[in-house]
Structure 1
Amino acid sequence: MASPETTPILLALPSLTPSLALEVLPYGLTIHRFFVQADGRTHDLVIGPESPHTHKHIKYTNTIIGRYANRLPVKELSVSSSRSPEIQASFTPLPNETPNVSLHGGQVGFDEKFWEPTPVPPGPGEAELFSGKELSTIESGVATAALFKYISEDGEQGYPGKLRVEVLVGLLQPDPLRASDPGEFNLGSVLIVYRAKLLEEGKVTPINLTQHTGYNLDASVDQKVMPIHDHTLTIKGNKTVELHPDMVATGQLTSHDSSSPYHFLNHTRIGSRYPEGGYDNFFVFDQTGEQIVKIFKETELLDADLVHEIIKPVPGKPAEPKVVLQGSQSGVKLSFATNQSGVQYYSNSLSDGSGFKKKIHGGDGRDEKKPGGGYDKGCATFLEFHEPYPSFLYPGLSPSGYDTLLTSGEIYNNYLRIDVGYTPRPSASS
């Protein structure tokens, strides 16, 4: 059943045969489809249901998550940013995973909200968190885009402060500079920029946003071989956040050597050391080079153009990806660049195989949950780019020292760019 919440907004590169397209739902700011045209076929790179409306009956499948990603303990927490120590707040996250754990923002997080879509360029007053310079850069440098906004009220799911959030989702034209391997073609890039500010004076709130997106780059090629064990994965960091049995962070990091299942520094085949329980771990990136700021003063917004730094790499020296995922059969590769300090890698290990599956991935396309009708364990690589959790309790977890706290008079800035590459496989040309 179609509704404004679940009517897809199509973003496609302007071409007779677009190499890249997204379908984005206002409900939960959900990436319903991630289309790539390569080797004469269409690939959908993300798992999920056939019908957009079905997203209202499932959780965390390609949606935004927040106000705070990942798991927080359910107890009274006191916060105060080092930038404005005089502003303090106490809050208690609402439980949803267990009585003692709040997951991805609480019982009704950002993944279940309606995100009001706005065309780009936006009309007067529709974009408050992007400067005029940035809107000009977006209009001239982004092939197609949409802006989504949401107002989170003070106290929503226990979090303090009334918050305005704006998210830009756009596509960039193919750029040969972004093809890193011999024989590789760049098919374009996906750009997501998250901005937020508090709408009241004297407030502070934790904020940690990301997309909870599940990728399978080969599912449209061979619908019978679904696990992602033959994908290769690179993560530019060999430290993970140490966890209590309830999956809440202890505040410590664990280092892994090349024999560990949690070592993905060099194009590692995911199934080569696959742990029995699969993956649900946060990897902290090695701190290398300059990073685009994660938070800045609201007074600096007028002259800011951080978007230009994201979409216009120095010629011959594109921004280094933090994570690279490549399919073994499709030849499709995703390279992820971000200003965030790490990535949560979840291998769909809690799935029981029931649920919904897209037709292009071998499903029947019905909006009926049934045993064996969904994606099995290990059939997706969920990659969630955000800061270590909870950095406001343990600032040492983040290599940049960022505490994931936003105070009045500041702008939160978080971005993800996904460069889509394709290398023809011998079977594709035979």
Structure 2
Amino acid sequence: MRTAAISCLTLIALSAGATTALAGTAQRAEFGRMPDGRVVEAITLTNDAGMTVRVIALGAAIQSVMVPDRDGQMADVAIGYATLDGYLAMPEYFGATVGRVANRIAGGRFELDGKTYQTPVNNGPNALHGGTAGFDKVLWEVVEIESGDAPSVTLRYVSPDGDQGYPGELTTTATYALNDANELSIDYRATTDAPTVVNLSNHGYWNMAGDGATAGALGNLLTIPAEEYTPTDATAIPTGEFRKVEGTVFDFRTATAVGDRVRDASDEQIVFGRGYDHNWVISRERSAEPRMIARLEDPVSGRTMELISDQPGVQFYSGNFFDGTIVGKSDRIYRMGDAVVLEPQMFPDTPNQPAFGSVRLDPGQTYRNHMVFRFSTTPRR
């Protein structure tokens, strides 16, 4: 009987240990303080596989994503700053939640129910990512953190009526979760008390070779399963055309190195954007089920990221405006092509282009943009 009791206790202990080993963690700490003294929290999510993601409350932004290569060597694949000072001095949308309306609005103007609204112009003649004080530049409230099989953090920001010229009070939440399959999910939700427009996304900068890698991200292989993209005018506003990618430098239906055609000035669109800064048309409307909309791989390390979303478009930006004035986490200067951005969203300037769909949100409705970044490795070739 004593032996049986000891065996039973051993099994219980082993079971408890297994449960503990499988539990991911969510830990909060101070990342810095705003000029007015408010604390900016950092929440670090860690899964059982050892992958970690750090989210900061300023801009509800991804600050770090540590993932292994095919040999188990960890590297940070998210570009950004080591301290809060950088995010305050030169934000650059590093890893940030962008809104109310991600991407561009022509002239910063749109019409809703017969009334014209003006948002701040902050990108040439146009509004970009919500205006001069968009969601990337505000301090979000940390409302919930959870440890367990998929550690997570939920942040909230209440944008008042008239904020940056947008109508209606908008309550937005951003939930980051990390599971043991090395999948980082972001779930954006928003509700309003008056008709408004909403198009949220995440502006993470990625380099699968790792932050500070000598060759930057130009050697990353990119796949975008889209047959069309939306060409723009010289100010980066879509012309309204849906143009085929076949036979152009915009064809990423098979994996192609980011740097292969990024400086091909034979295409006027590359000249306009100083590289890629365009919307690829995954579909003409939101999908009923999430699907892969982009894939990024570093063939040297094997690190791979698949982006899964139900959004109809993905904006691919090749880091064209890094000019050597920014020093990142690795104490290296960021140059053109050192990282790329892949933003699942509605098409740019949708509020002014009915053929692109609608970003209208009414009281009683809930806006949602759910995306998953799935990290893995490829075998040595």
The TM-score, its normalising length taken from structure 2, stands at 0.82
Asked if the contact 1:21/1:35 (under 8 Å) is kept, the reply is yes
Asked if the contact 2:287/2:311 (under 8 Å) is kept, the reply is no
Asked if the contact 2:108/2:127 (under 8 Å) is kept, the reply is no
What is the rounded CA distance, in whole Å, between the counterparts of 2:281 and 2:88 in structure 1?
A: 32
- Tell me which residue corresponds to 1:213: 204
Shift in CA distance, 75/273, structure 1 to aligned 2, threshold 3 Å: closer
- Tell me which residue corresponds to 1:224: 214
Paired AA for residue 197 in structure 2? P
1:423 aligns with 2:361: no
Paired AA for residue 262 in structure 1? F
- Tell me which residue corresponds to 2:14: none
- Tell me which residue corresponds to 1:112: 137
Asked if the contact 1:8/1:52 (under 8 Å) is kept, the reply is no
1:354 aligns with 2:325: yes
Paired AA for residue 76 in structure 2? D
Paired AA for residue 77 in structure 1? F
Q: Which structure is richer in relative contact order (CA contacts within 8 A, separation 6 or more)? A: 1
Shift in CA distance, 419/154, structure 1 to aligned 2, threshold 3 Å: same
1:91 aligns with 2:117: yes
What is the rounded CA distance, in whole Å, between the counterparts of 1:251 and 1:44 in structure 2?
A: 38
1:45 aligns with 2:45: no
Shift in CA distance, 120/5, structure 1 to aligned 2, threshold 3 Å: same
1:374 aligns with 2:339: no
After superposition, where does 1:331-410 map in structure 2 within 5 Å?
Answer: 331-359=302-330, 363=331, 373-397=332-356, 401=357, 403-410=358-365
What is the rounded CA distance, in whole Å, between the counterparts of 1:378 and 1:215 in structure 2?
A: 10
- Tell me which residue corresponds to 2:280: 283
Bigger shift: residues 408-417 or 4-13: 4-13
Shift in CA distance, 193/109, structure 1 to aligned 2, threshold 3 Å: same
Asked if the contact 1:261/1:275 (under 8 Å) is kept, the reply is no
Paired AA for residue 368 in structure 2? N
- Tell me which residue corresponds to 2:271: none
What is the rounded CA distance, in whole Å, between the counterparts of 2:39 and 2:354 in structure 1?
A: 37
Asked if the contact 1:238/1:262 (under 8 Å) is kept, the reply is no
Match of 2:165 among 158, 173, 176: 158
Shift in CA distance, 89/117, structure 1 to aligned 2, threshold 3 Å: farther
How far 1:287 sits from its partner (Å)? 5.8
Q: 1:249 is paired with a residue of what secondary structure? A: coil
How far 1:21 sits from its partner (Å)? 1.1
1:69 aligns with 2:66: no
Paired AA for residue 33 in structure 1? S
How far 1:341 sits from its partner (Å)? 0.8
Paired AA for residue 167 in structure 2? P
Match of 1:171 among 168, 178, 182: 178
What is the rounded CA distance, in whole Å, between the counterparts of 2:117 and 2:255 in structure 1?
A: 42
- Tell me which residue corresponds to 1:2: 32
- Tell me which residue corresponds to 1:83: none
Asked if the contact 1:32/1:52 (under 8 Å) is kept, the reply is no
The structure that has the greater radius of gyration is: 2
What is the rounded CA distance, in whole Å, between the counterparts of 1:332 and 1:40 in structure 2?
A: 10
- Tell me which residue corresponds to 2:244: 255
Shift in CA distance, 76/69, structure 1 to aligned 2, threshold 3 Å: closer
What is the RMSD of the two structures over their aligned residues, measured on CA atoms?
2.2
How far 1:239 sits from its partner (Å)? 1.5
Asked if the contact 2:186/2:370 (under 8 Å) is kept, the reply is yes
1:24 aligns with 2:50: no
Asked if the contact 1:6/1:53 (under 8 Å) is kept, the reply is no
Asked if the contact 1:34/1:44 (under 8 Å) is kept, the reply is yes
Shift in CA distance, 212/290, structure 1 to aligned 2, threshold 3 Å: closer
- Tell me which residue corresponds to 1:134: none
Asked if the contact 2:96/2:202 (under 8 Å) is kept, the reply is yes
Asked if the contact 1:238/1:263 (under 8 Å) is kept, the reply is yes
What is the rounded CA distance, in whole Å, between the counterparts of 2:335 and 2:86 in structure 1?
A: 18
Paired AA for residue 348 in structure 1? G
Aligned length: 336
1:120-177 per-position Cα deviation (integer Å, ceiling 9, x unaligned) = 46xxxxxxxxxxxxxxxxx88x510010100000000000000100111101222xxx
Q: What percentage of aligned pairs have identical amino acids?
A: 26
- Tell me which residue corresponds to 1:300: none
Asked if the contact 1:5/1:25 (under 8 Å) is kept, the reply is no
1:282-340 per-position Cα deviation (integer Å, ceiling 9, x unaligned) = 11104699525xxxxxxxxxxxxxxxxxxxxxxxxxx6311111112110111111111
- Tell me which residue corresponds to 1:132: none
How far 1:75 sits from its partner (Å)? 5.5
How far 1:274 sits from its partner (Å)? 2.4
How far 1:343 sits from its partner (Å)? 0.9
1:36 aligns with 2:64: no
Asked if the contact 1:5/1:26 (under 8 Å) is kept, the reply is no
What is the rounded CA distance, in whole Å, between the counterparts of 2:65 and 2:56 in structure 1?
A: 12
Paired AA for residue 267 in structure 1? A
Q: 1:353 is paired with a residue of what secondary structure? A: strand
- Tell me which residue corresponds to 1:303: none
Paired AA for residue 64 in structure 1? T
1:11 aligns with 2:23: no
Asked if the contact 2:318/2:339 (under 8 Å) is kept, the reply is yes
Which blocks of at least 5 consecutive residues in structure 1 are unaligned? 81-87, 122-138, 175-187, 293-318, 364-372
